[in-house]
């Protein structure tokens, strides 16, 4: 199957299986697909390459891979069981030639020369608190690359303070809310060689709260 021919039914079938395995939340799958499409609507351009941080059951990564048939992508997850599912899902949807699965902690993967500063776009859905998400994501971004994060709708921009973000080479570009809040950050500066810090530290010792 060509990646461009993966149908909405194919995608729903694969994600329904992910839900049955406990990799997605218990709600209906179609609204979760709609939410995943919100990441695509936030990006300012169609990326040539993207990485889905903590891909889990494949949201938003699988949806974005089908939405952008010319993009290459990486689905990153630390758990082998989820990684095995994602590899099977990519094969089922005809994505295996351009979408790869990496099973590794983000803090480690972001220092891999094959992944560091390689991506136009990084997405994060329920990955962690803002400080940990930003620190783990920025090492994957090319200069000018974008990070799109889904947020609780009631939370404000104070979750993404300008000063600490600048220390990571990031800035908030825009935010939008349509039931779910999305924040778009752009890499606007250099990323130090020690970013992200070692495994577990970004979450245990966040740069801001």
- Residue 153 belongs to a domain: yes
- Residue 209 belongs to a domain: no
**Chunked in runs of 10, what are the mean pLDDT values of the chain (209 residues)?**
68 97 94 95 96 97 97 98 98 96 98 98 96 98 98 76 97 81 96 97 96
Q: What is the pTM of this model?
A: 0.94
Name the 3-class secondary structure at 98. coil
Residue 107: HSE in the Cβ half-sphere, 13 Å Cα cutoff = 12
- Residue 55 belongs to a domain: yes
DSSP 161-204: -HHHHHHTTEEEEEEEEESEEEEEEEE-S---TT-S-STTHHHH
- Determine the structural domain holding residue 14 and report its residue range: 3-204
- Measured in whole angstroms, the distance separating CA 111 from the mean position of its chain's CA atoms is 17
Residue 35: its pLDDT value, please?
93
Can you state the angle between helices 8-20 and 29-42, rounded to 10 degrees?
110
Residue 180: its pLDDT value, please?
76
Handedness of CA 92, 67, 125, 118 (dihedral sign): positive
**Overall number of domains in the chain:** 1
Report CA-CA distances (Å) from 25 to 102, 173, 185. 22, 29, 26
Residue 17: its pLDDT value, please?
97
CATH classification at residue 124:
3.40.50.150
Instruction: Tell me how far apart the alpha carbons of residues 40 and 37 are, in angstroms, rounded to a whole number.
Output: 5
Residue 176: its pLDDT value, please?
83
Report CA-CA distances (Å) from 89 to 32, 57, 63, 119, 143. 17, 9, 11, 22, 31
- Residue 73 belongs to a domain: yes
């Amino acid at each position: 199957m060509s990646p461009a021919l993966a149908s909405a039914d194919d995608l729903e079938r694969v994600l329904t299986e992910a839900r049955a395995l406990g990799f997605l939340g218990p709600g209906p799958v179609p609204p979760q697909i709609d939410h995943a499409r919100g990441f695509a609507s936030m990006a300012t351009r169609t990326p040539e390459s993207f990485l889905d941080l903590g891909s889990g059951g494949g949201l938003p990564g699988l949806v974005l891979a089908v939405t952008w048939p010319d993009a290459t992508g990486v689905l990153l997850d630390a758990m082998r069981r989820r990684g095995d599912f994602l590899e099977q899902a990519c094969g089922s949807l005809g994505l295996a030639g351009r979408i790869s699965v990496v099973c590794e902690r983000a803090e480690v993967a972001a220092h891999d020369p094959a992944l560091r500063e390689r991506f136009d776009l990084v997405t994060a859905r329920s990955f962690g608190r803002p400080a940990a998400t930003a620190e783990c994501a920025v090492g994957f971004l090319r200069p000018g690359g974008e990070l799109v994060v889904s947020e609780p709708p009631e939370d404000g921009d104070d979750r993404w303070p300008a000063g600490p973000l600048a220390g990571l080479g990031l800035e908030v570009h825009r935010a939008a809310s349509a039931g779910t809040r999305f924040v778009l950050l752009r890499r606007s500066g250099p990323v130090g060689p020690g970013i992200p810090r070692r495994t577990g530290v970004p979450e245990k010792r966040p740069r801001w709260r």
